[in-house]
Amino acid sequence: MIVELGHFALILALMVALVQSTLPLWGAHRGDARLMALAGPAALVQMALVAGSFAALTWAFVVSDFSLAVVVSNSHTLKPMLYKVSGVWGNHEGSLLLWVLILAVYGAAVAWFGDNLPDRLKARVLAVQGMIGVAFLLFLLLTSNPFWRLALPPLDGQDLNPLLQDPGLAFHPPFLYLGYVGLSMAFSFAVAALIEGRVDAAWGRWVRPWTLAAWVFLTIGIALGSWWAYYELGWGGFWFWDPVENASFMPWLLAAALLHSSIVVEKRESLKAWTILLAIMAFGFSLIGTFIVRSGVITSVHAFANDPERGVFILMILAFFTGGALILFALRAGSMEARGVFSLVSRESALVANNILLTVAAFVVFIGTIWPLVGSMLLGRDLSVGEPFFNAAFSPFMVALALVLPPGAMLAWKRGDIGRSLRGLIPVMVLAVALGALAFAMQTGRTALGPVGLMLGAWVGFGAMADIWARTGREGVGARFARLFRLPRADWGKATAHFGLGVTIFAVSAMMSWKIEDIRILQEGETFPLGRYEVRLDKVEEVQGPNYTSTMGWMTVTRGGAVVAVLNPEKRIYPVAQMPTTEAAIDYGFLRDIYLVLGDRQQSGGWAVRSYIEPFANWLWAGCILMALGGLLSLSDRRYRVAAGARKVPAGVPAE
């Protein structure tokens, strides 16, 4: 019964979304206040209905209702409760329901918090948001209905893929979706602005927080996925340039570009048309990502349950929304006149450089991702594109971005002085070069990647510190410190996020260049050297887990005779899913992780063992957390809250 109610609520939500996407739009066109006022309540009702539907599906998973097809193929009575719940979105149908739920929540948030929006703009934004809702609710109901019953329910389910039974991955999809779908807000605002034919500073101020929130969620989601791949897959890597990873990375890059260009719209009323285009592209890439993941046209290690019918449907959604928005853009972009002018050397120009580099980088990822498809469809050739291509073709743009970031961030608006911002960075430059040289001298005859990465990371990271310090004025050190803590949170957000980027750049290059790997056969009781450590395999034993059996190794890591850690790498077998998994054992450290993987028993006796020293691995996740934290700090800035109540403040006064 609950399941049927959920199913019914979903169909009702589709009806409400249809109303939300048409009548307010008509009302805005005719100037009919009553029709426009319909948008808000419709968005709230749609959210309530989708939430009810999602709750019904969650209920079915919690009580293991095996009359539902999705529950049978993704759950099992013995599974821990956390994974019963995360199993709701651990499959195609449920994850799309989550997608639609988040979409409806964003729409409801505009209805709820959007009192200060002009009625017309609000009606149009909610109508566009409603259209996206219609498209995805149709997709859900027609091709991927999670409420499909089975005539003959089995006694037990087939279990969730054991690799997904992990806390890191339980929360990875919701964060990614909050990010992907968050970009739909920027898209809806962009299309609404195109229909209105005007963009002003206030528009920039409404779009920016949504983009920022979406970017923060994407950052967290991608970092969680990467962290999971690192500790769960047992390859010791953190990023594989897999099409599905790229699908989340492209919107991240474009969202980063968008949140910077919307600053220019808000403060300087410039780059309007470009910002609109970027908003369309950012959401377009979210849809392309959904297409890549759900259609399976591009081979990926993430073999999602997918089929061509669904792929074609998503392609149609993609064509309708991006195509329609781009046509609208072509018709209306000319009317978006810039008011603020700026010279070639200015903060605006630096942000344009940021936008060009990020967009081109996203495009390189895109073409690398679809090239195998182009090869097979247009060229009739079997082509592959992998890590070596991306490392060579993508990295230069990131290096350029890192080089221009610190001086660009310190330039003045409108007309800057490059010499002055570089002079402020001389200590940072000296420090970065010195650190790079030190690293080059200390490492033993390997590539230049590590030292260069350290130099760039230090340049960006300490550059962010120099930037915020420069904002404290020219008085005594005490007065400057006092002022430092009175700076707006947006300044702190900027510095924190840029510092996090520096940490991430350093950690990525450190892990790529200074990793130590060892593969060998080890007898029980035998010891081998690993970097500065010695590792001993004490014993291997069979252990019974809650829904798996495990072959567990006991390994002791020592350094100069002192025990550093006792680690238990495992090989598990999940009998229900008939699947083996490898559980790497990791000793997390500030400067390095010790990463041990137990392999197969050898015919000659002994065990295959693969071990790594992963330098600065924790810095990578810390860098991502700092970037997300920077975004949150900016989001909590007083100006956004003031803006919410300051409807009557004359527009065009740039906040500084």
Instruction: Note whether 8 binds other proteins by CB under 8 A.
Output: no
| Strand (E) or helix (H) holding 585 | strand 585-587
Q: Where are the beta strands (DSSP E) in 216-292?
A: none
- According to CB under 8 A, which one of 85, 315, 465, 644 is a site residue for other proteins? 315
Burial (0-12, 13-18, 19+ Cβ within 10 Å), 498: buried
Tokens matching residue 379: 């060229």
Instruction: Note whether 597 binds other proteins by CB under 8 A.
Output: yes
Tokens matching residue 37: 């006022």
Q: How far is the CB of 571 from other proteins (least distance, A)?
A: 8
Instruction: Note whether 107 binds other proteins by CB under 8 A.
Output: no
Residue span binding other proteins (CB under 8 A) among the ranges 295-303, 425-433, 434-442, 470-478:
295-303
Tokens matching residue 238: 């953190």
Q: How far, CA to CA in Å, does 64 sit from each of 141, 146, 585? A: 22, 14, 32
For other proteins, the closer CB: 48 or 403: 403
* Nearest residue to 132 via CA among 57, 182, 88: 182
For other proteins, the binding residues in 610-649 under the rule CB under 8 A are: 610
- Count of residues that interact with other proteins, criterion CB under 8 A: 78
Residue span binding other proteins (CB under 8 A) among the ranges 438-446, 497-505, 517-525, 642-650:
517-525
For other proteins, the binding residues in 126-165 under the rule CB under 8 A are: 160-161, 163-164
* Nearest residue to 354 via CA among 646, 653, 346, 289: 346
Q: How far is the CB of 329 from other proteins (least distance, A)?
A: 15
Put the strands of the sheet holding 516-522 in their side by side order: 516-522, 607-615, 592-601, 585-587
Q: How far is the CB of 357 from other proteins (least distance, A)?
A: 8
Instruction: Note whether 295 binds other proteins by CB under 8 A.
Output: yes
Residue-wise DSSP of 18-55: HHHHHHHHHHHHHT-HHHHHTHHHHHHHHHHHHHHHHH
Beta partners for residue 149, in sequence order:
68
Rounded distance between C-alpha atoms, residue 171 and residue 203, angstroms: 32
For other proteins, the closer CB: 427 or 575: 575
With a CB cutoff of 8 Å and minimum separation 6, the contacts of 464 are: 406, 409, 494, 495, 496, 498, 499, 502
Q: How far is the CB of 373 from other proteins (least distance, A)?
A: 9
Rounded distance between C-alpha atoms, residue 447 and residue 298, angstroms: 33
Q: How far is the CB of 99 from other proteins (least distance, A)?
A: 15
| Mask for 66-105, x = binds other proteins (CB under 8 A) | -------xx---------------xx--------------
For other proteins, the closer CB: 29 or 520: 520
Contact between residue 74 and residue 88 where contact means Cβ atoms under 8 Å apart: no
For other proteins, the closer CB: 20 or 581: 581
Give the rounded distance of the alpha carbon of 283 from its chain centre.
13
> Quick one: angle between helices 243-268 and 347-374, nearest 10?
160
For other proteins, the closer CB: 4 or 417: 417
For other proteins, the closer CB: 123 or 280: 280
For other proteins, the closer CB: 171 or 304: 304
> Which 3 state secondary structure label does DSSP give 425?
coil
- According to CB under 8 A, which one of 78, 142, 330, 341 is a site residue for other proteins? 341
Instruction: Note whether 316 binds other proteins by CB under 8 A.
Output: no
Instruction: Note whether 520 binds other proteins by CB under 8 A.
Output: yes
Instruction: Note whether 542 binds other proteins by CB under 8 A.
Output: no
Residues present in the chain in total: 656
Max CA pair span of the chain? 83
For other proteins, the binding residues in 13-52 under the rule CB under 8 A are: none
Tokens matching residue 576: 């229900």
Tokens 């899913």 locate to 577
Question: How many other β-carbons are positioned within 10 Å of the β-carbon of residue 382?
Answer: 8
For other proteins, the closer CB: 497 or 598: 598
Rounded distance between C-alpha atoms, residue 518 and residue 596, angstroms: 10
For other proteins, the closer CB: 163 or 632: 163
For other proteins, the binding residues in 228-267 under the rule CB under 8 A are: 232-235, 242-243
Instruction: Note whether 582 binds other proteins by CB under 8 A.
Output: yes
Instruction: Note whether 544 binds other proteins by CB under 8 A.
Output: no
Instruction: Note whether 306 binds other proteins by CB under 8 A.
Output: yes
Q: Tell me the pairing of strands 516-522 and 527-530.
A: unpaired
Q: How far is the CB of 461 from other proteins (least distance, A)?
A: 25
Q: How far is the CB of 219 from other proteins (least distance, A)?
A: 22
Q: How far is the CB of 398 from other proteins (least distance, A)?
A: 12
For other proteins, the closer CB: 116 or 158: 158
Q: How far is the CB of 300 from other proteins (least distance, A)?
A: 6
Q: Is the dihedral of CA 148, 152, 155, 160 positive or negative?
A: negative
Instruction: Note whether 312 binds other proteins by CB under 8 A.
Output: yes
- According to CB under 8 A, which one of 311, 451, 453, 623 is a site residue for other proteins? 311
For other proteins, the closer CB: 58 or 359: 359
For other proteins, the closer CB: 82 or 649: 82
Question: How many other β-carbons are positioned within 10 Å of the β-carbon of residue 24?
Answer: 29
Q: How far is the CB of 420 from other proteins (least distance, A)?
A: 21
Tokens 């309540």 locate to 41
For other proteins, the closer CB: 165 or 634: 165
Beta partners for residue 595, in sequence order:
586, 612
Q: How far is the CB of 531 from other proteins (least distance, A)?
A: 16
Instruction: Note whether 413 binds other proteins by CB under 8 A.
Output: no
| Mask for 349-388, x = binds other proteins (CB under 8 A) | x--x---xx-xxx-xx--xx--x---x-x-x-xxxxxxxx
Contact between residue 80 and residue 545 where contact means Cβ atoms under 8 Å apart: no
For other proteins, the closer CB: 307 or 538: 307
Residue 596 phi/psi, 5° resolution? Answer: -115, 135
